[in-house]
Amino acid sequence: MGDGERRATAGAGAVTAPLRDWLGRVIGTAGTEVATDAEVLDPQSPLHVALGATFAPRADRIYLNAARIGNTNSAVVLTTAGVLRGWALRDAVNDHLGQEMQFPPHWSTYHLDVKWTIVAAITGDVMLRWDTMALGNGANANGAPISGVPVTVTAPAQFITKISRVASSVAVDPGAENFTRLIRLGNDAADTLAGVAAVLGLAYTRAS
């Protein structure tokens, strides 16, 4: 039996057509019990998920699009950026986004990249800062996050996506949820973009 194929014996009157996973591999026979171990089923396949099999991927990159990014500032709204949607961080104010993250247990540190664009035909620089703090059991939800080092990034052309690294080797607090916050320091003199910076997504990449 190749490619992890498992065959089952069909009972009397059972349909004997092969049952395949999303990659076309034979994983059993229709009408019989289908094995659910990760050796047989692709762990990301719809069938694997539907059967309730557990799978803990060793992910080294987590990407959140705008719909999955938390909003910690009620004044920040979603805007249309071409065919995409993004959080509109304004100029002249300190707008921010944030959410809780629970990183895979094998992560010690991570890098953070922001995917963004602008929605007007303007030029300038944007100053961004990445803050973080642990929010496990007993943590102060009104505490002050640890501020990262601000970075200044040049805006792309209108509706052109750009990926900018805003934090490197940020420590993960083992066993705790981690609050993460992205701030546009729009009232800083180094932030010269007189318009909205639309955050399309955040990419966390394991550093160690």
Q: What is the mean pLDDT of residues 90-104?
A: 94
User: Nearest CA to 112 among 55, 192, 36, 168?
Assistant: 168
pLDDT of 10 higher than 80: no
User: Nearest CA to 28 among 53, 9, 8, 48?
Assistant: 8
Query: Is the Cβ–Cβ distance between 26 and 20 less than 8 Å?
Result: yes
pLDDT bin (cut points 50, 70, 90) of residue 43 is: very low
Please provide residue 158's backbone torsions phi and psi, each rounded to the nearest 5 degrees: -55, 125
**pLDDT value of position 145:** 92
pLDDT of 44 higher than 60: no
pLDDT bin (cut points 50, 70, 90) of residue 177 is: confident
Q: How far apart are CA 171 and CA 115, in angstroms?
A: 21
Q: How far apart are CA 49 and CA 200, in angstroms?
A: 28
Q: Which two tokens stand for residue 157?
A: 């052309």
The alpha carbon of 30 is separated from its chain's Cα centroid by a whole number of angstroms, namely: 36
Q: What is the mean pLDDT of residues 141-164?
A: 96
**pLDDT value of position 45:** 46
User: Nearest CA to 88 among 122, 131, 120, 125?
Assistant: 120
User: Nearest CA to 78 among 70, 69, 87?
Assistant: 87
**pLDDT value of position 93:** 97
Name the residue with higher pLDDT: 29 or 185: 185
pLDDT tens digits, one per residue of 64-82: 999 999 998 889 999 999 9
pLDDT of 14 higher than 80: no
Q: What is the mean pLDDT of residues 169-182?
A: 88
**pLDDT value of position 79:** 96
Amino acid at residue number 101: M
Q: Which two tokens stand for residue 112?
A: 């953070």
The 3-class secondary structure across 43-94, one letter per residue, is CCCHHHHHCCCCCCCCCCEEEEEHHHCCCCCCCCCEEEECCEEEEEECCCCE
**pLDDT value of position 109:** 95
pLDDT of 7 higher than 80: no
pLDDT bin (cut points 50, 70, 90) of residue 17 is: low
Name the residue with higher pLDDT: 37 or 131: 131
Percent of the chain with pLDDT over 90: 58
Does CATH place domain 61-206 in 3.30.360.10? Answer: no
pLDDT of 154 higher than 90: yes
Q: For the chain, give every domain's residue range.
A: 1-55, 61-206
pLDDT of 181 higher than 70: yes
Which residues are 146's β-sheet partners?
132
Please provide residue 107's backbone torsions phi and psi, each rounded to the nearest 5 degrees: -85, 135
**pLDDT value of position 176:** 80
